[in-house]
Amino acid sequence: MDCLICHDTTGTYSKKKNSCGMPNKDLDLTDIAKQVGLPGRGNCGECHWYGGGGDNAKHGDLGSDLLTPDASLDVHMGKLDFTCQKCHVTDAHKIAGSSTTSSVSEGRVSCTDCHDENPHDSSFPLLRKLNEHGMAMACQTCHIPQYAVNKFTLTYRDGSRISDKTEVVSQSPDKRELKTPMGQKILEKNLKPSYAWYNGKHHRYMKGDPVDPKGITPLNAPDGTIKDPSAKITPYKIIKTRQAIDARHGYLIVPHLAGKDGLISTHDWQVTAEKGMKAAGLKFSGEIAFADTMMYWRLNHGVVPKEKALSCLDCHGPEGVMDFKVLGYKGDPMATGWRFAPDK
């Protein structure tokens, strides 16, 4: 990272790949430096839009279509022309925001930083009921009904099926399956969120933690249950992966990935696992197996205009988007009751 990553306004500043952060030699750095300014969405996006191997691949709600979005994609950035730091308020270069994959946080960002905790007009009975929903549901749950609207996002990767080149296995308007040096991949778009209770914390898999060789190991599951009064139903993108584990020690393998001797180039799990585990300081038995894991990516971007938010029947109708029993209810809470008595 350097100053021009965030403060270049010309759109020309770039770094040469695998050059330890050095800028491209053919740039006129003096001219670029003379035109520095406040960061725009594109400055933030150059890093955050392309994580996970492609545009919108990682998060599902962060892609290059947010550079100049229309209001139907994101009302804050499209209609109101918000920059990222409008919500991710920055003080002395500390940028507010909390990750779902690491504990680093330089300040929380919340809808209630700008909006009232009861934002709907309570003089109308239906809107008053929506305010009551706020005790059990995050704002994003209703106001982000869909993600990966324009661009594909990664939903599955099988590391046991690596290929020496990238090629398409199958393709439809909303789904692609690819063979790649990083494993068999599935990318999808126009997806509905998954929902989970979240109280502001995530559990995190740490290097060397055990995995379930026959089940699914969550790597960053949200904390919270229906019995937790601080938890709210929150929308997520879920990515499922099949990853290499040490069959004897029962934890995830850290492979050596990059360079001519890395897994992406050699397609040799045995050699690259041995190198990676040595660098990671983990014992390696030499026995490799594969196990299923999953990650949760909290959805915060892509807030639609209120007319497009979820309505009552989108959750409480016969084809509702929410599985209330999985969330811990006896059934649809409209029929079976709230999780707590009204006075609690």
Together in a domain, 52 and 103: yes
Q: How confident is the model at residue 82 (pLDDT cuts 50, 70, 90)?
A: very high
User: How high is the pLDDT of residue 283?
Assistant: 97
Q: How confident is the model at residue 299 (pLDDT cuts 50, 70, 90)?
A: very high
Q: Is 32 a domain residue?
A: no
Q: Is 22 a domain residue?
A: no
Nearest to 202 by CA among 225, 220, 227, 226: 220
Q: Is 17 a domain residue?
A: no
Together in a domain, 229 and 108: yes
Together in a domain, 179 and 272: no
Together in a domain, 140 and 281: no
Please give the tally of structural domains in the chain. Answer: 2
Angle at 240 between CA 234 and CA 243, to 5 degrees: 140
For 121-159, how does the pLDDT look when each residue is reduced to its tens digit (9 = 90+)?
Answer: 888 888 888 998 999 999 999 999 999 999 999 999 999
Residue type, 108: R
Calpha distance 139→132 (Å, rounded)? 12
Tokens 């990935």 -> residue: 257
Range among 17-21, 228-232, 255-259 with highest mean pLDDT value: 228-232
Together in a domain, 96 and 210: yes
Residue 225: how many CB atoms within 10 A of its CB? 12
Together in a domain, 274 and 325: no
Nearest to 156 by CA among 44, 240, 31: 240
Together in a domain, 293 and 282: no
Together in a domain, 280 and 300: no
User: How high is the pLDDT of residue 342?
Assistant: 61
Together in a domain, 188 and 264: no
3-state DSSP assignment of residue 62: coil
Q: How confident is the model at residue 343 (pLDDT cuts 50, 70, 90)?
A: low
- pLDDT, average across residues 32-58: 94
For β-strands 184-188 and 153-158, DSSP reports them as antiparallel
Calpha distance 298→292 (Å, rounded)? 20
User: Residue 216 belongs to what domain range?
Assistant: 39-247+287-334
Together in a domain, 282 and 198: no
Q: Is residue 344 scored above 60 in pLDDT?
A: no
Together in a domain, 186 and 239: yes
User: How high is the pLDDT of residue 149?
Assistant: 97
Q: Is 18 a domain residue?
A: no
Q: Is 195 a domain residue?
A: yes
Calpha distance 192→109 (Å, rounded)? 23
Calpha distance 281→89 (Å, rounded)? 38
Together in a domain, 97 and 169: yes
For 250-294, how does the pLDDT look when each residue is reduced to its tens digit (9 = 90+)?
Answer: 999 999 998 899 998 999 999 999 999 999 999 999 999 999 999
